[in-house]
Structure 1
Amino acid sequence: MAYFKLTSLSELLPRMEAVEVDRCHFRFGLHRGEFDAFVFIDVDPYVLAFGAIGKNFYFEVPVNPRTLETPGVFATDVYYKLCEILGLGRSGPRFTPSAFLAHVNEAMKGVRFRRAAPRDLAPYRRNVEESEKIWFCGWRDNTTSGKHVTEENLEKTRKWLGEKAYVRCKERNISSCWTDDATRAKEIDLP
């Protein structure tokens, strides 16, 4: 299998670490497509994720944390859907996953990023409990009530808040709490 080296990550990672961000979000465009891009460095392997804005399409690729390489091949269904979103027909110049990754690599150079928030991920990682509740509103310590955090809540915590929050909640029997009311949203600080 061919691999693609994401050289721009070597510049992005120290900038993320300098501001203590382990899950970042930025946007870029290519041909007819506009994308939300996410870099998750709180997992091993790292994850580079893409959501096509307004297209109900999301996919992730693993990134080796040591070499910063990712497979230069996408699943067939991902590849064809990506070509469709980009407005590329099956005839004409050949478009490859490596060409897409090369564009992403260029887009990452000096990119202005921000911490990935649950509301950024919600349109793409919808397979969670109460997916309409995208605003974090606190933590619930289940030991005081004699209850246990549910697997579904832990999975939502992992997908939307990251690995550190997931591990801490699992170890301490804490549930993340969510609302659909933006006015009740709180800053996210790990419990």
Structure 2
Amino acid sequence: MKLDNLKKIYTQMISNGLERHVFKYKHNNAVIFDVLYFIDESPHVLGFGVLEHNFYFEVEIKKGFQLNTVLNSSDYTQLCKILNLKYDPNNPFKTSMFFDEFNKQLPKITHTYSTPMPQTIAVYRSNVDEPEKIYFFGWLDNKKTGHDVSLDNLLKTKKLLSNKAYERCKRGNISSRWTDKSHLAKTYFEPTT
């Protein structure tokens, strides 16, 4: 399936220098999803989350804004439950209908203030090192301490910050630092190598 309207968002993200974008999607005037669009990943990724149901799934966006509409069985079942759908063997729910409606309702404009904060992403991408520490706290130059950046830290950097930060940290032996205290959070800045 092709998400034609996603191309407009992508184009605006590029012109605004954005690598990640967050916006709301209301399905059938009932369920509100947080949608995360990651164009710094290859292929691009669209994440759909509903916080009050502790539900999140991701789909890959291939060249030409194509996506495979098939979800794994647990995500499909949970999505049906959240959308309050009852099984009808004569008319089963097709995820292509969900994505088609999503494509029709995509926002027309992106805003630089719609870049997701690391803690916004962490709520959904919680399978990271020290998942309780969701607030960015800065960088640690491991060359000065004589240590090596851990693979777990690199993966957390990639999932919550950006692919660019991941590459710089890997190349420069830099660790991202995190805290569980919101008042200690720092505004994200790129690591220097």
3-state DSSP of counterpart to 2:41: coil
3-state DSSP of counterpart to 2:169: helix
AA partner of residue 31 (structure 2): G
The answer to whether 1:77 aligns with 2:81 is no
- Name whichever structure is richer in strand by fraction: 1
Q: What is the correspondence of 1:42-191 to structure 2 with a 5 Å cutoff?
A: 42-64=40-62, 66-91=63-88, 94-112=92-110, 114-191=114-191
Aligned partners of 2:188, 2:25: CA distance in 1, in Å?
26
Aligned partners of 2:107, 2:26: CA distance in 1, in Å?
14
- Name whichever structure is richer in helix by fraction: 2
Q: TM-score, normalised by structure 1?
A: 0.92
- How far apart are 1:95 and its partner, in Å? 2.4
User: What is the RMSD of the two structures over their aligned residues, measured on CA atoms?
Assistant: 1.5
The answer to whether the 8 Å contact 1:42/1:162 transfers is yes
What runs of 5+ residues in structure 2 fail to find an aligned partner?
A: none
- How far apart are 1:181 and its partner, in Å? 1.7
| Inter-CA distance 129–62: structure 2 relative to 1 (3 Å threshold) | same
Deviant stretches of 4+, over 4 Å: none
- How far apart are 1:112 and its partner, in Å? 4.8
The answer to whether the 8 Å contact 1:34/1:53 transfers is no
What runs of 5+ residues in structure 1 fail to find an aligned partner?
A: none
Q: How many pairs align?
A: 187
